[in-house]
Amino acid sequence: MLTRIANAIVKVTEFGLWIGFLALVVTVGLQVGARNIFRMPLIWTLDLAQLLFSWLIFIGAAVAFRRGAHYMVDIWPETWGGFRFLLDIVGVLSAALVIYVLVVHGWTLTEIRRTSTVASLGISHSWMFLPMPLSGGLMALFLLEAIRDMASKRPS
């Protein structure tokens, strides 16, 4: 059940990331074209590009976490099952710490920036920081799935 929910979330999230990336490319293209061809900078494109970049980085990191696509050094032999399991536990604890920072402190940043406004877009600055706690929440779900899978493969 958890895997089906995570699969559905990843599928929807990946579609959103594709749309966001397309919007980022179009926004930067408009920015460069307006500045270099028409000699008329569009101020809002820089802020929109930063907003999209923030969302793409943090939400994309959550999807990469689920796929196990983050950098990993694997130097211990497969035959050291118990030791590798201990290292997996250290990895889970490390991931939990990162998730805690993203959720708790990311939400704090989101709340702090709630009252200021991105003038060119007319939106709250909190939209720039909201992907941090959302990413942490997604990672927490994916970490639960990883813990479940790790417990089922635990060496005897």
What confidence tens digit (pLDDT) does each residue in 96-117 have?
999 999 999 999 999 999 999 9
Three-state DSSP class for residue 118: strand
Average pLDDT of span 70-80 = 74
Query: How confident is residue 9, by pLDDT bands cut at 50, 70 and 90?
Result: very high
The packing angle between helices 131-152 and 2-36, to 10°, is 140
Q: How high is the mean pLDDT of the chain? A: 92
Check pLDDT > 80 for residue 140: yes
What pLDDT is attached to residue 26? 97
What pLDDT is attached to residue 155? 61
Q: Which single residue is written with the structure tokens 């959103």?
A: 16
Check pLDDT > 70 for residue 156: no
Check pLDDT > 80 for residue 152: yes
Q: In whole angstroms, what is the distance from residue 154 CA to residue 156 CA?
A: 6
Query: How confident is residue 127, by pLDDT bands cut at 50, 70 and 90?
Result: very high
Average pLDDT of span 81-90 = 83
